[in-house]
Amino acid sequence: MTAEDASPGVAMPVTDARTVPAAPLEAVNDFVVKFANVNGSGSASANELFARAILRMGVPVGPRNIFPSNIQGLPTWYEVRISGAGHLGRRGGVDLMVAMNPQTWDDDIAEVDVGGYLFYDSTRPLAATKMRSDITMIGMPLTEICNSTWADPRQRQLFKNILYVGALAALLRIDMGAIETLIAEQYKSKPRLLEPNVQALRMGYVYARDHLPAIGLSVRRSNAVGDRIFIDGNRAAALGCVYGGATVCAWYPITPSSSLAESFQNYCHKLRIDPASGRRRYAVVQAEDEIASIGIVAGAGWNGARAFTATSGPGISLMSEIIGLAYFAEIPMTIIDVQRGGPSTGMPTRTQQADLVACAYASHGDTRHVLLFPEDPHECFEFAASALDLADRLQTPVFVMSDLDIAMNQRLCAPLAWSETNRYDRGKVMSFEQLEAGTDFGRYKDVDGDGIPWRTLPGTHPTRGSYFTRGTSRDAYARYSERGRDYVDNMERLLRKFDTARSLVPPPVPNASHRPTTWGAIYFGSTAPAMREAVESLEQAGLAMDILRVRAFPFSGAVREFIESHGPVFVVEQNRDAQLRSLLVDDFGLDPARLVPILHFDGTPITARFIVGAVRAYAHEAGMPT
């Protein structure tokens, strides 16, 4: 009997008897499920439902979308790390593949760890050569069930996704109540859709329960999630901009940053309407390109509004001239760079940390910019808000270096935090009263020794405090000057200002090993969860290592001390050219040989296994037991 002969609900089990492996994987709350889908098929919301249901059972999950630059028809994957121990990075490897895309079957089946499982649509029989004997193949006639249950082709497609979620719930012992609650929340405003979704879910559950074999992977209720929230970095950063007081946002659509500006607009629409007039306390302009976006941000910053743009690498390239103007003319601006794979169009829907050098030194001439490195959505929120403060305080462009992995994937993280005692730092803005009192105003004069001059806003005083802002050199009173001395004084003051930034940016976060060691690793941003897991597993293998997460450029003295007190020092990052290492070498004048690069740049988020492998390979070469 083939799957085609079976009618839904009464079909024979279709597990292929030829492929039962000797030792199927067994794990509770510690495995990786990967969904292979066709994009545009409606799988994303079903897959998210799967991940959220596990979260609702109190078990941490780390989901990641791996998607093409395409709207419909190309392969897309959703990988869910389920980790009772709380590891949210990618581990590497797959324990259960949900193979819904015939185009990628060969790669998908090859990726499953030995002893793992592959769930597939068995409506049409597959050749034996397409199978593997060292994993468990679990077939379910999804298409057949859908075709005989729903007439509408769109419904057939959408409910196929819900059907497999139901089946996985049975296989992995996920709480059906949790899923049904989530569906009810999702369709609260569209009750018409609620019932068919629940029906499809139950149909998948019952079929799997009655016809599919039990497997060794399962989810067990826990309380390891705590009060953490589940949010993507772009939404969190957008909220950070709302809380940080941004009133002007200018942007141009580019993956993976577009949802940040859109979220800002959505949150403002809810949170920033003047109750009396119904009018908006914000302005969002979708500009004609990134040059105009940053021009608008520069004009607003010059005129005293908190302004930001969100973009990605190609946008930074276009913005560079105005970023240089803002550095030299000392205009506050916040730029959120959601990094993707470059150069050129590169890999627009894949992740990298490859814009560090481009942002740190953006523009022609001698420039140096402040960069912040959030590790997760919680810090995307925090750093977006503090970037607006830092930009005003330092009167310079400040970059928040997010990346696609943090920005477009939902991540379990600490709740967003805002203290009622927070006050915006508007920096040194000379008031009408100060000018009226006769305070000396030199726009580019360092009166406080921190390299930061005072500024005035247009329209402040009828006769005092006006100045002419320009990208050409000038003296301390903003008067046009091409004298070498004036130029050099100004450039040296800008360096002093950069040094002041060193003490204002978020400090690095150390994490010392339980055992004394000279081995150290420096990392930043989205590498954090994989790094922490890698260190745990290295320590279990007898290789202890202290780690330090840098959170900003310029680096604080603590980073230099860490490097000086360790050896070897690995620098773990997600780009080809060891860009953080270059910044460290440049900022501290280090011998590059002191820093050992570990580089992951294939466009997927770095895994704990990759880091462990690289460190062990180094240890092996150094003649240490590994």
Partner 1 sequence: MTWIAKPRLHHPTLARNALGYTRRDYEGKVSTLCAGCGHDSISAAIVQAFWLMDIAPHRVAKLSGIGCSSKTPDYFLGPAHGFNTVHGRMPSVLTGANLANRSLIYLGVSGDGDSASIGLGQFAHAIRRGVDMTYIVENNGVYGLTKGQFSATADPGSVSKKGVANTDGPLDLVGLALLLGASFVARGFAGDKAQLVPLVQAAISHKGSAIIDVISPCIAFNNHAGSTKSYDYVREHNEAVNQLDLVPSRNEITVDYAAGETVELAQHDGTFLRLHKLREDYDPHDRIGAMNYLHEHQARGEVVTGLLYVDTAAQDLHAGLETVETPLNLLSEAELCPGAAVLEHINSSLR
Q: Of residues 397-416, which lie at the interface with partner 1 (CB under 8 A)? A: 415-416
Q: Among 90, 9, 80, which Cα is nearest to 46's?
A: 80
Residue 472 interacts with partner 1 (CB under 8 A)?
yes
Look-up: residue for tokens 């909220």?
Answer: 239
Nearer to partner 1, 131 or 457 (CB): 457
Instruction: Choose, by CB under 8 A, the member of 44, 131, 224, 285 that binds partner 1.
Output: 285
Contact between 277 and partner 1 by CB under 8 A: the answer reads yes
- Binder of partner 1 out of 20, 291, 585, 596 (CB under 8 A): 291
Would you say 300 or 401 has its CB closer to partner 1?
300
In the shown chain, the binding pattern of residues 178 to 217 toward partner 1, with x for contact by CB under 8 A and - for none, equals ----------------------------------------
Minimum distance from residue 52 beta carbon to partner 1 (Å): 10
What's the closest the beta carbon of residue 267 comes to partner 1, in angstroms?
Answer: 9
Distance CA 332, CA 387 (A): 10
How far apart are CB 484 and partner 1 at their closest, in Å?
12
Quote the CA–CA distance of 493 and 445 in Å, as a whole number.
9
Measured from the CB atom, the residue of 79 and 290 that comes closer to partner 1 is 290
Residues 405 to 464 in contact with partner 1, rule: CB under 8 A:
415-420, 422-424, 456-463
Spatial distance between the Cα atoms of 28 and 273, rounded to a whole number of angstroms: 48
Query: Shortest gap between Cβ of 184 and partner 1 (angstroms)?
Result: 15
Shortest distance in whole angstroms from residue 228 CB to partner 1: 8
- Rounded Cα distance, 543 and 538, in Å: 5
Convert residues 325-364 into a mask of x (bound to partner 1 by CB under 8 A) and - (unbound): x---------------------------------------
Size of the site for partner 1 (CB under 8 A): 75
* Site for partner 1 contains 295 (CB under 8 A): yes
Residue 4 DSSP one-character state? G
d(CA 550, CA 556): 9
**The one among 2, 7, 303, 503 contacting partner 1 by CB under 8 A:** 303
- In this structure, the strands spanning 520-523 and 569-573 are parallel
**Coil/strand/helix, residue 120:** strand
Q: Is the peptide bond before 153 cis (omega within 30 degrees of 0)?
A: no
Tokens of residue 175, six digits:
């709480």
253 binds partner 1 (CB under 8 A): no
Per CB under 8 A, the list member of 222, 469, 511, 537 interacting with partner 1 is 469
Is 386 a binding residue for partner 1 by CB under 8 A? The answer is no
Distance (Å, rounded) from C-alpha 341 to C-alpha 349? 8
> What's the CA gap between 420 and 121, in Å, rounded?
53
Q: For residues 212 and 224, is the Cβ–Cβ distance under 8 A?
A: no
Phi, psi of 85 (to 5 degrees): -80, -10
Rule CB under 8 A: is residue 321 a binding residue for partner 1?
Answer: yes
Return the number of the residue (152 or 420) whose C-beta is nearest partner 1.
420
Compose the 84-123 pattern: x for residues touching partner 1 by CB under 8 A, - for all others. Answer: ----------------------------------------
Is 221 a binding residue for partner 1 by CB under 8 A? The answer is no
Given the rule CB under 8 A, which of 102-110, 132-140, 161-169, 320-328 is the region that contacts partner 1? 320-328
415 versus 567: smaller Cβ distance to partner 1: 415
Report residue 580: phi and psi, to 5°. -65, -40
Contacts of residue 243, Cβ cutoff 8 Å, sequence gap at least 6? 381, 385, 418
CB of 422 to partner 1, least distance (A): 8
- Token digits of residue 279: 């009018």
Question: What is the nearest approach in angstroms of partner 1 to the Cβ of residue 6?
Answer: 41
- Residue 6 is given by DSSP the state P
Who's near 492: CB < 8 A, 6+ residues apart?
none
**Residue 459 CB neighbour total at 10 angstroms:** 11
Taking the complex as a whole, the smallest distance from the CB of residue 295 to partner 1 amounts, in Å, to: 3
Should residue 305 be labelled a site residue for partner 1 when binding is judged by CB under 8 A?
A: yes
Tell me the closest approach of the beta carbon of residue 263 to partner 1, in angstroms.
Answer: 12
Amino acid sitting at position 541? A
Choice between 11 and 416, CB closer to partner 1: 416
CB 322 within 8 A of CB 294: yes
Distance, CA of 445 to CA of 222 (rounded, Å): 60
Of residues 473-492, which lie at the interface with partner 1 (CB under 8 A)?
Answer: 479-483
Contacts (CB under 8 A) with partner 1, residues 223-252: 225, 227-231, 239, 242-243, 245, 247-248, 250
Q: Is 191 exposed, middle or buried (0-12, 13-18, 19+ CB in 10 A)?
A: exposed
By CB under 8 A, is residue 272 in contact with partner 1?
A: yes
Q: Does residue number 299 form part of the binding site for partner 1 (CB under 8 A)?
A: yes
Closer to partner 1 by CB, 281 or 576: give it.
281
The values of phi and psi at residue 147, to 5°, are -65, -30
Considering only residues 49, 237, 298, 391, which one is a binding residue for partner 1 as defined by CB under 8 A? 298
**Environment class of 18 (CB within 10 Å of its CB; exposed 0-12, middle 13-18, buried 19+):** exposed
- Got the DSSP string for 227-289? T-EEEEHHHHHHHHHHHTT--EEEE---TTTHHHHHHHHHHHHHH-B-TTT--BS-EEEE-SS
